[in-house]
Chain A
Amino acid sequence: QQQVKQSPQSLIVQKGGISIINCAYENTAFDYFPWYQQFPGKGPALLIAIRPDVSEKKEGRFTISFNKSAKQFSLHIMDSQPGDSATYFCAASSSLTGNQFYFGTGTSLTVIP
């Protein structure tokens, strides 16, 4: 059973546009929601993370929006650049289950010049 559902599977955005990736979860015990960026042949790198006590977190061009009641969270990449082309994974974790990460299925983002 997929604990975290991620969409879309792939995304093509023009340079300068906004990339939006969505994730949904069911387990209300999740209390940590990170986003990771992965380039081909490399390990994932932490981009930004949020706790459920805030509805939004922004770091540079990256913003997480969190909707606790809907059990959804999303990553917004503003002013998308070709260098942002990568695969993005959302994840969720709970302190009640040893902080194990449950990853989404990934979104392949392509930013075209």
Chain B
Amino acid sequence: KQEVTQIPAALSVPEGENLVLNCSFTDSAIYNLQWFRQDPGKGLTSLLLIQSSQREQTSGRLNASLDKSSGRSTLYIAASQPGDSATYLCAVTIGSYIPTFGRGTSLIVHP
């Protein structure tokens, strides 16, 4: 059974810092790994999707890496801004295409 763990559970940083959010999973036979953002009262927004054959994906100030052999992914946020405050969720998908989610990292970026 796939289990996904996210560390830290919560993070509070001043604006401008570079951040690393961590995700680990127990079964390395994944189809893809996805990072989502959730704002209060809103749905999940897909940030980055990394296929199993890829090592990383980048979008703007976000960079996600994937190391299947060690069962880890990191989401790097450069030059954080207050607008980045949200909950960040990691989800891994295996052959069934149904994602298994972590509990998320709650991020607060204060001015």
Do chains A and B stick together as partners?
no
B residues with a Cβ closer than 8 A to A are: none
A residues with a Cβ closer than 8 A to B are: none
